[in-house]
Amino acid sequence: MSVAPPEQRIWWNEPIEKVELTWIVVAFLWGMFMFFFMIAWHFIGQQNLNNEAYRIAPSAYETKVEQFVQKTKVREEKGVPVVRPAPGSDVYLLGRLWQWWPILELEQGQSYRFHISSLDWQHGFSLQPININLSVHPGYEHVITLQPTQAGQFGIVCNEFCGIGHHTMTGKVYVVQKKAEGGQLRLAQEVKQ
């Protein structure tokens, strides 16, 4: 490599070396391959979620979630409501400084319309340990069709740095099995044992 200027001032009219041309073609084809694989991963990688997004004012979304919680609340855990929406219905979750609210209790094998938005900054919804991730933006209501396939207790963390309390921004999702013989829904913890 030279730090001196090229010998020919009009260097770009020189013919391209064969090896260099080969590498340009290889890099170009690889770039194209990777570009189209972004689309391919959507179908074969099971990485990208099919979601819809609608514009909504944060305050309007907050009202929606509060109404949803009023209708579906079954109990509280440390002051946070736990909701158990009807199978097949709409489920709402909100992210704000610094919590995911409310706690959801869903039924295994049922399909839900899962709505999520933020009331303040951008947050990162990350469902653990199965690692489903989604960026959550204020002003946009994201809707995903979701079907829990596995019973248990799942944690939600925020994976988008959102300030001093970021590391405390957690939430919870319970997935319970269908009504047992006794007519009672069994809690995820019991099912796990």
Output 162 or 188, the one with its CB closest to Cu ion. Answer: 162
Contact 102, 89 (CB under 8 A): no
Output 70 or 168, the one with its CB closest to Cu ion. Answer: 168
In the complex, least distance from residue 124 CB atom to Cu ion, rounded to whole angstroms = 7
Using the structure block, give the residue that is written with the tokens 């570009």: 35
By three-state DSSP, how is residue 53 classified? strand
Output 88 or 165, the one with its CB closest to Cu ion. Answer: 165
Output 134 or 169, the one with its CB closest to Cu ion. Answer: 169
In the complex, least distance from residue 3 CB atom to Cu ion, rounded to whole angstroms = 47
CA distance 116 to 107: 18
Output 104 or 176, the one with its CB closest to Cu ion. Answer: 104
In the complex, least distance from residue 49 CB atom to Cu ion, rounded to whole angstroms = 19
CA distance 190 to 74: 18
- Which tokens in the block code for residue 151? 């019973």
User: Residues 6 or more apart from 135 whose CB is under 8 A from it?
Assistant: 122, 123, 124, 125, 160
CA distance 1 to 72: 69
In the complex, least distance from residue 184 CB atom to Cu ion, rounded to whole angstroms = 35
Which residues sit at the interface with Cu ion, rule CB under 5 A? 123, 158, 162, 169
User: Residues 6 or more apart from 57 whose CB is under 8 A from it?
Assistant: 139
In the complex, least distance from residue 173 CB atom to Cu ion, rounded to whole angstroms = 17
